[in-house]
Amino acid sequence: MLEIKNLHVTVEDKEILKGIDLTIMPGEIHAVMGPNGSGKSTLAYIMTGREGYEVTEGEVLYQGRDLLAMAPEERAAEGVFLAFQYPVEIPGVPNTTFLKEAVNAQRRHRGEDELDAMQFLKVVRQKVKELGIADEMLKRAVNVGFSGGEKKRNEMLQMALLEPRLAVLDETDSGLDIDALKAVADGVNALRAPDRSMLVITHYQRLLDHIVPDKVHVLAGGRIVRSGGKDLARELERTGYAEFATVAA
């Protein structure tokens, strides 16, 4: 599904990722954990094509294709989804309009028929119910005036509607209370499928109590300093990231 090879990324002339190797097979969930500033979001953004990040070495293959050569919208339509750590507010654009435009843009790209207003509403109502989202969140402008938890739920709603092949969740758990955390985890688990992979970026282990990963990687100082099974997350909970500061340096 995803193959990251020796990836080096520079932001404003500062090297942030210093040679990442990571392979995710179809159906797998990988967790990436690490201290603040270790480059987790950089890794997430590089996969979605945000501007300002320069790849100086290495490559990223998605379903065997050069992901980095694709425009952000193409990646999305091909099934790459990022749940943003900080979802963006878009004043004046109603959430429903945004969701419908996104779903239909991707359908167009894939040569599928667009959903009309009625069809879309039916789908979105269903997902909203499953995720326990208030209907009025659909009418408001995208993320404007949403609480932290509402923003994260809105990311999950988008993920549920867009049904990506590769979902990257960037600290979707931070700042959530336990109910919201469970809702997010339920959303993720509902999407688990043999042909769908996920990269769950988190700072804490608690999300991984609900979303059990196949592999856990520790990112520190721009490198993956350790990889292991799901138990690695528990171990990190006890020891913290302190030891990796020295490994990375």
Ligand X SMILES: Nc1ncnc2c1ncn2[C@@H]1O[C@H](COP(=O)(O)OP(=O)(O)O)[C@@H](O)[C@H]1O
* Residues at the contact surface with Mg ion, assessed by CB under 5 A: 40-41, 85
Rounded Cα distance, 111 and 64, in Å: 21
Q: Give the distance from CA 247 to its chain's centroid.
A: 27
10 binds, among Mg ion, another protein, ligand X, none (CB under 5 to 8 A by kind): none
Name the 3-class secondary structure at 116.
coil
Shortest CA distance to 43 belongs to which of 197, 162, 199, 191?
199
Mention every residue, 6+ apart, whose C-beta is less than 8 A from residue 51: none
Q: Which stretch binds ligand X (CB under 6 A): 34-42, 62-70, 86-94, 191-199?
A: 34-42
Shortest CA distance to 109 belongs to which of 67, 77, 72?
77
92 binds, among another protein, ligand X, Mg ion, none (CB under 5 to 8 A by kind): another protein
158 binds, among Mg ion, another protein, ligand X, none (CB under 5 to 8 A by kind): another protein
Residues 76-135 binding another protein (CB under 8 A) are: 76-77, 82, 84, 87-93, 97-98, 101-102, 105-106, 109
DSSP category for residue 56? E
Residues that bind another protein (CB under 8 A): 48-51, 71-73, 75-77, 82, 84, 87-93, 97-98, 101-102, 105-106, 109, 141, 158, 162
